[in-house]
Chains A and B, each alone.
Chain A
């Protein structure tokens, strides 16, 4: 899929580099952080605090709070409402689990 994933691999669009769990990821300028992560095939954004199950973005409009990640050290940032900025550092709960 990554070969066609337009946001991460498009040659026609200007891209910026963000850091996802310590790894540089190139994404189209200005897209939502949720799209950037999904385009990078990262679906585990967080773990449910009760069940510890992996969770990913669900509603895409700021209601469900399942897409909360840590951005530049600030927790609880809703990725679906946050446009990417060059150099932003993102941590998901799925870090280091191969998800």
Chain B
């Protein structure tokens, strides 16, 4: 058996970034990963850095997220992303080329003004353009765009580079990464936790459960019942396009995000549901969502019609019933921390720093008092997901 200061369960972007922060702080960190690192939600996400307020309801989502509450978190994450490449001494294709969130109906235009108030309150500068001004700024926008919010901080980082870069940094600073080590047991052992994985057993006073869509399954091993609602959403990539799309394009009222990645392909997403979520196998992309998402992309960016769709894929995500992030120590389980939820990629540097503070007893960079796991611990009937 190994002893460590912190066991991190999950080598996605949250586990990798937290491992890097904690290892740099001198903690002995072991990262246990059920498969290959960074392959699930963190390897399938679009890589958007959402700084302006987002669309609050992905297709099929029951409860809208609280966009006003998101704003200060987005602001703090945005500031931290600025230093990620220097800090890791690695290129993650970070690009702050700004983004547009478009509106098509009067109701949606009103929403743009409403969210601008939240943005401005936390110091996120945004500008609202009418349809013609938006088309002048981004000529690819289609005729149905009635208005658009411009935020110069919106951006992109390559998710396939971010997680590996954080992991490499963590390993450089002494962390141990154990891939293909699914955790099968978590028990209390004196004042510490004993974590059993397929190939390893590690004893540590602190366990961080950042297992993404499997977060509730890991928590259950430690006797903690959390009500999570994992989902699988899908992404689409077109062939390389010679039309340059310099900015991220989103929609305030429908599920859409479009951008061009460094390789030249367009990435089209927006939280459309995959054909199925399979936590024990591979989640599959579906045709209905593909058709719906691409049709929406063409309505907002008509040039997409001329392209060919290269591939679609699905990624499983942690999500909560109230659609807000969860981060904090589990009451009654000292040293057992959880972190997850949607938009985890944007929030990764922030949640990594927050977890470091929670482990060391320092004051977190943002107020997370209302985001803890308590709210998910209602005495619910056993759910099979």
Contacts and interface: CB of A to CB of B under 8 A. Distances in A.
A76 B239 contact: yes
A35 B263 CA distance: 31
B263 A76 contact: no
Contact of B308 (A49, A50, A76): A76
B263 A50 contact: yes
Contacts of B240: 49
A50 B265 CA distance: 11
Interface residues of B, number: 5
A76 B307 CA distance: 9
Interface in B300-346: 308
B264 interface: yes
Nearest to B239: A76
Interface in A21-49: 49
Interface string B230-271: 000000000110000000000000000000000110000000
A34 to B, nearest CB: 19
Contacts of B308: 76
A76 B264 CA distance: 16
A61 B239 CA distance: 20
Nearest to B265: A49
B262 to A, nearest CB: 10
Contacts of A49: 240, 264
A49 B310 CA distance: 15
Contacts of B263: 50
A49 B308 CA distance: 15
A49 B242 CA distance: 10
Contacts of B239: 76
Nearest to B241: A49
A49 B239 CA distance: 10
Interface string A61-76: 0000000000000001
B238 to A, nearest CB: 11
B310 to A, nearest CB: 10
5 contacts: A49-B240, A49-B264, A50-B263, A76-B239, A76-B308
List the 5 closest A-B pairs by CB distance, nearest first.
Answer: A49-B240, A76-B308, A49-B264, A50-B263, A76-B239
